[in-house]
Amino acid sequence: MKLSNKKKLLTVIEFAVVGVATWLNPQAGFLLFLLRLCFQILTALQTEEPSEADKEEPTNRCLRDRQQSDRKAAMARRSLPHTPVKSTKQQKLN
């Protein structure tokens, strides 16, 4: 959930809780003040946590980065520990 949505939800909950508390006991001014203060502190302490999608590798990498990672993946797939892989330049020289 995005931080802005969390703040909006917290504001709605604050309104409902303080409204019900005021309706139940309108003379408890100091306690209502403390309740609103607690909600303000909760709102201020909220931080943006990275979601699962943000933790993954970004998909909008530049072309050079994609080519390098593709080359590394291809080398890892085709190279076996018992079979040395010769490059095309080495094959042409031999």
Mean pLDDT, the chain, whole residue set: 78
Average pLDDT for 40-63: 70
Q: What is the pLDDT of residues 2-36, one digit of tens each?
A: 878 888 898 899 999 999 999 999 898 899 999 99
Residues 46-49: contacts with CB within 8 Å, 24+ apart?
46/3, 46/6, 46/7, 46/10, 47/3, 48/3
User: Residue 94: what pLDDT?
Assistant: 64
Residue 66 — pLDDT band, cuts 50, 70, 90? confident
Q: What percent of the chain has pLDDT over 90?
A: 22
